[in-house]
Amino acid sequence: MTKGGDIPEIIPVHLFDQGILMPYTILPLTVTDPDMIAMIDHAVKGDKIIGVVAESPVGARYTVGTAAGIMKLYRFPGDVVRVTLKGLYRFRILEELEVNNISCVRVERLITTYPDDIDELEAWRKSIEVQLRRIMDLTPGIPDELQLITLLRDPERLGFVAASGLEAPVFRKQNFLEENSIILRFRLLRSMMNYEIQRLKLREHIEGQVRMEMEQDQKEYYLKEKMKVIQKELGGVSINPDVVELSEKLDKKELPESAVTSAEEELKRLSKLHPGSPEAGVARNYIEWILQLPWMDRTVDRLDIDQADRILNEDHYDLKDVKERVLEFLAVRKLNPAGKAPIICFVGPPGVGKTSMGRSIARALGRKFIRLSLGGVHDEAEIRGHRKTYIGAMPGRIIQGLKEAGSSNPVFMLDEIDKIGRDFRGDPTSALLEVLDPEQNFSFRDNYLNTPFDLSAVKFITTANTLDTIPGPLRDRMEIIRIPGYTENDKFEIARRYLVKRQVKRTGLSGKLIRFRESGIRCIIKRYTREAGVRELERSIGAICRKCAVKVAGGDQTMVTVTGKRVPDFLGSWKYTRESRLSEPAVGVATGLAWTAVGGEILMIEAVLLPGNGKLILTGQLGDVMKESAQAALSWIRANRVGLKHDPAEFDIHVHVPAGATPKDGPSAGVALSASILSALSGKPVRNRVAVTGEITLRGTVLPVGGVKEKVLGALSAGIEKILLPVENMRDLEDVPEVQRKAMEFVPISEIGQAMDHLIIWGD
């Protein structure tokens, strides 16, 4: 059956942007818009009906709305109209019109359809009524008159009135309004009501929790105040309730005697303070720090030498000296568990694995690992902490690190110790003197704790790029282990064993999609990196993997093989080229050896004669020490005059070291400078396959130099076949890998004349 009636064919329409007006519901409006007021006046003169249509999400209006009758109308000064509308029936817009400059529409009334089975309709009506009662029960403070809607017997009216009171999205209510079937409309209503019930239950749950927390806080406050009153009535002093809790924790915590004394003194002071006073907060924080620190908690060392050796070799390639020192520490620890841990300082260029070696040592020992970066630290309080009397005071970063580790014997790495600064706030390096001294750190006293803390079980490891900026007293407390830059073979092995696998995994690839050949890795090392470590090498490998990942993500599953010829396709043209020896002997050009931060290289030293009066001209950004070496070389030549063709006093001698933009310094080029100048003055060429290193004196003695391993490997890669080394440096050849050592000839020299016989081709 259906319900209907006569309605106006054309009615003014209002676009309502604040929700949906349902039939049988009341909508009060305050109108100030002149166009809307004109529409109301037009409706009043006619059938007193206005169509109300909701605004759709896209900004237009829906085609189904509610015809509303004007029940009350009040006019106020200032062109303000108060109107009360009542929803009458639903309609669908057939055509949009404009009547007397009023927006109107031609409409047809929508009729609700009812099922033939009256029992089904009644069952749905009762179900909606039950849900509505549940919503009312969950909504506190609902007026009694609103509860009368559950007594509505008309299913259509019940549905519209119930839907109007729900907090549901506009599009859901619009779907409900547009539905003609009363049964389908009830189903939509049931869904909205279920959502509303869940929302109300969640709100009730949250409000209940908040109420319980507030009640608990009020209860605690009441009990604390009651305790204070009772204490006063008994003639005693009021007690801070936190004292009992902290006292119980102190009884359970295993602490050294000095810490117990400090904590009990602070606890006694806390018991006399008001809980809300700032001093009480300071005292409570101090006791909590005492309780949280691992005074007696230690991890058990893993003293298996073979397992530690395996772990170190798994994590790092080469670094033989470092690994041997760690194994020595383990052996001593195993034989003498009470021994003091030495302080180790790893010194080397960036990217050679100093920090990661610290992690490996912790893993080998089975200890916790804590890293503290000291770069840029200027404040002494960062190490020793602040006095607890200051606002916001905390212990220093040493004590904070131990709290984080939860152990009193972790491996504690102090990174970048050479980059500590100093200013008006103090000198942090001086604060580290006690921390890094095994004879003192068993009673390290932090300013905040003001009680000794035993740091003797901590394995301190420091790292630095250079020792020059570390004060002497601090450097004297550490055992220096130098980690030199990696050779080309070292970099290849590290890339093959670690870097390639890590980057392939990070980019989500596999060995079936990308493969690096030896030629490809060596090409990256030689042509795209110039570093002592392997960071740039890993970045270059990662760049190739990412380019491959783009191809794979696009659907191309073809295996990519990275060879030396294909590397430029991924990384572009070469970034670096290696210096190589001359193809033929030349007059005035000698080959020296240099040790740089990125490894060893050959140094081509050139000398030419110019008309003049014996002036020595030096170019190529030479440092003071290297300039002095050149002057000493010329003085020795002028004093001994061995094989000279030209008089040094009649010519200016210009000595130049190529790569003029790169600063160069040091005494180790003395012999090579001598050979270059002597060759220019004698007119005899210098052998192009022989290189030399060594410092000289005015007496002609050749003194030892450093960086022999790096210089030898750099000379080998440049094609040098013979190297002249100071006699005292011959023992350093033990550090050179045997394969490279056998590929070259080494000649010991002790004085300049001996070196010149090997370098200069004197002829007949």
Active-site residues: which are they? 668, 711
Distance CA 158, CA 182 (A): 11
- Tokens 């009673």 sit at which residue? 443
Q: How far apart are CA 713 and CA 690, in angstroms?
A: 14
Q: Is 43 exposed, middle or buried (0-12, 13-18, 19+ CB in 10 A)?
A: buried
Inter-CA distances, 409 with 238, 297, 376, 598, 692, Å: 41, 8, 26, 36, 49
The torsion of the CA quartet 20, 21, 22, 28, rounded to 10 degrees, works out to 140
- Structure token pair of residue 77: 């000064």
CA torsion angle 324 326 329 334 (round to 10): -100
Q: Coil, strand, or helix at residue 87?
A: strand
Pairing of strands 10-16, 80-99: unpaired
CA dist., res. 159 & res. 185, Å (int): 8
**583 and 688 in contact (C-beta within 8 Å)?**
yes
Tokens for 541?
Answer: 């490998």
**DSSP label at 612?**
S
DSSP code, position 100: T
In Å, what is the CA distance from 94 to each residue of 50, 63, 65, 106, 177? Answer: 16, 8, 12, 5, 17
Reading phi first (left if > 0) and then psi (alpha if -120 to 50, else beta), residue 651 is in: beta
Q: Tokens 């000095």 label which residue?
A: 258
The torsion of the CA quartet 89, 93, 96, 102, rounded to 10 degrees, works out to: 10
Length of the chain: 764
Q: What letter represents residue 322's amino acid?
A: V
The answer to whether residues 495 and 545 touch, using CB atoms and an 8 Å cutoff, is no
Spatial distance between the Cα atoms of 203 and 532, rounded to a whole number of angstroms: 63
Listed in sequence order, the residues at least 6 apart from 355 whose beta carbon sits closer than 8 Å to its beta carbon are 371, 413, 415, 463
Q: DSSP letter string over 264-332? A: HHHHHHHHTS-TTSHHHHHHHHHHHHHHHS-SS--PPP---HHHHHHHHHHH-SS-HHHHHHHHHHHHH
Q: From residue 702, give the alpha-carbon distance in Å to each of 667, 672, 698, 753.
A: 11, 11, 10, 10
Q: Give the CA distances from residue 593 to residues 345, 604, 612, 725, in Å, rounded to whole numbers and listed in that order.
A: 28, 9, 30, 10
Q: How many CB atoms lie within 10 A of CB 482?
A: 11
